[in-house]
């Protein structure tokens, strides 16, 4: 019975995804169609229309490229990887984006374990979380990436100084296509969740109490010694 339940849960996720994709792609397409029709009638605000049309095309582009990642079968390319190596790669990649907003990425490795994981997938998780943290902050500040282990788990915290997540939407943020951003796809956290489940890990969310901001915690099992 338990296996059945797990399976039907998975089916509903793909059903939910399919419905979401249809909806999310139809909206920009409807808008594109409208503007093409306007252009057909020889309207003069051509430049404005082209600008909006390009934005709508970019939305579809973003959604489809993130979906390609979801659709890609989970290859099982797992190895023992040093956590600090992955964090270093990812922060190098995102440093320019952080610099633009004068955000400092600070890494604090209390412990630096070897993780048994698919390196590119786990890096994708870290990238999505740091991107969200950068996007959440509208002024200069610090994003802290902290890692520690206890017993049989490794915890990696991504702590931002953004406004935090309102309690009223907290239960929805991991759902596919849920976004509060104009340019968002709402797929980032769902992808994180999916990758972490494949690694027998989890993603938890905490509101920071001292300052404002959110902490996303990635927890992963440590390889048996
Ligand atoms: P997207 O970034 O495309 O909106 P995500 O799945 O990555 O999609 O995130 C879903 C939503 O969760 C965001 O639109 C935002 O409302 C909320 N969220 C995620 N990370 C943070 C964060 N660090 N601070 C505040 N809100 C966040
Ligand atoms: Mg995101």
Per-residue pLDDT tens digits for 92-140: 989 989 999 999 999 999 999 999 999 988 999 999 999 999 999 999 9
pTM: 0.81
In the 8-state DSSP scheme, what is residue 217? E
Q: Is 36 left (phi over 0), alpha (psi -120 to 50) or beta?
A: alpha
pLDDT, mean of residues 64-78: 72
Ligand 2 is a single-atom ion; what residues have CB below 5 A from it? 132, 188
pLDDT confidence of residue 193 = 93
Question: Does ligand 1 lie within 6 Å of residue 133's CB atom?
Answer: yes
pLDDT at 59 over 90: no
Structure tokens at 12: 């509903």
Element of type H or E holding 93 = helix 83-100
pLDDT confidence of residue 154 = 97
Element of type H or E holding 164 = none
ipTM for the whole predicted complex goes beyond 0.90: yes
Which ligand sits closest to the CA of 180? 1
Element of type H or E holding 87 = helix 83-100
pLDDT confidence of residue 168 = 94
């Amino acid at each position: 019975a338990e296996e059945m339940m797990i399976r039907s849960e998975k089916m509903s996720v793909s059903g939910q995804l399919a419905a979401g994709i249809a909806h999310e792609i139809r909206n920009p397409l409807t808008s594109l169609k409208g503007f093409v029709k306007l252009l057909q009638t020889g309207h003069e605000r051509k430049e404005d229309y082209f600008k909006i049309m390009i934005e709508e095309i970019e939305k579809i582009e973003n959604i489809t490229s993130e979906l390609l990642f979801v659709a890609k079968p989970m290859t099982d390319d797992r190895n023992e990887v040093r956590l600090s190596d992955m964090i270093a790669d990812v922060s190098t990649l995102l440093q320019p984006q952080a610099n633009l907003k004068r955000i400092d990425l600070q890494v604090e490795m209390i412990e630096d374990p070897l993780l048994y994981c698919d390196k590119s997938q786990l890096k994708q998780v870290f990238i999505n979380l740091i991107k969200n943290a950068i996007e959440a902050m509208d002024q200069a500040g610090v994003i802290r990436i902290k890692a520690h282990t206890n017993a049989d788990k490794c915890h990696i915290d991504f702590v931002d100084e953004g406004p935090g997540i309102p309690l009223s939407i907290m239960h929805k943020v991991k759902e596919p296509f849920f976004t509060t951003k104009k340019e968002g796809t709402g797929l980032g956290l769902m992808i994180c969740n999916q990758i972490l489940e494949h690694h027998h890990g989890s993603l938890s969310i905490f509101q920071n109490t001292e300052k404002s901001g959110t902490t996303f915690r990635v927890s992963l099992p440590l390889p048996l010694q």
